[in-house]
Amino acid sequence: PKLIASQLKDLLAQREIRGTLSALEGRGSAARYLAIDVADGAALEQALNSVRSEWGPISAVIHGAGVIADKRIAEKTEDSFNWVFDTKVQGLRALLGATATDPLKALIYFSSVAARTGNLGQSDYAMANEVLNVVAAAEAARRPRAIVRSLGWGPWQSGMVTPELRNQAKIVNYGLIYG
């Protein structure tokens, strides 16, 4: 059953990706979906070079990478912490490095209100998101002509909200914007 559930999840994700790409193309937008580890600088550079060769320089970056592995801080392992933290932070570092010579007009980071308010079991996730907020402020100062924002999202029903979180508190859709 676990294997079947995993395969079903992958199939549904692929269906959603195809649907989104089809909807974008149906509205006249050219789109490409590339699945890579954003923290893998070489793979990221290769992917962006293929985009540049077809469409020209990168003009906007939207960084939405993230994983959640909730546990109380005393129960977190170093590997677990690094997985959560590095996905956002090292991924952002790789993106900024790979687009350093592109004429960026927009840098948008998907952060979380957990960076400021905290959530039970999310110390690593909160820290990673606060790094995004601080980097957004620095990049906004460094790139005064670019739109730079770190969007501090609250939890949303389809994805981050586990049954446990739903039972802990009433989910309120709100967000904060830094940058």
Confidence of residue 156 (pLDDT cuts 50, 70, 90): low
What are the pLDDT digits (tens) for 32-48? 888 888 888 899 999 99
How many CB atoms neighbour CB 126 within 10 A?
A: 21
Residue in 132, 7, 162 with CA at minimum distance from that of residue 69: 162
pTM beyond 0.85: no
Strand order in the sheet with 106-112: 60-63, 106-112, 147-153, 175-178
For the cut 80, the answer to whether the pLDDT of residue 111 exceeds it is: yes
The whole-chain average pLDDT of the chain stands at 86
Handedness of CA 53, 55, 57, 63 (dihedral sign): negative
Strand, coil or helix: 175: strand
User: 108: which 2 tokens?
Assistant: 């948008």
| Residue pLDDT, tens place only, 136-148 | 999 999 999 999 9
pLDDT digits (tens, 9 = 90+) for 47-73: 999 999 999 999 999 998 888 888 998
The reported pLDDT for the residue numbered 120 is 82
- Write down the pLDDT at residue 127: 92
Token pair of 44, please?
């990221």
Band the pLDDT of 164: cuts 50, 70, 90: low
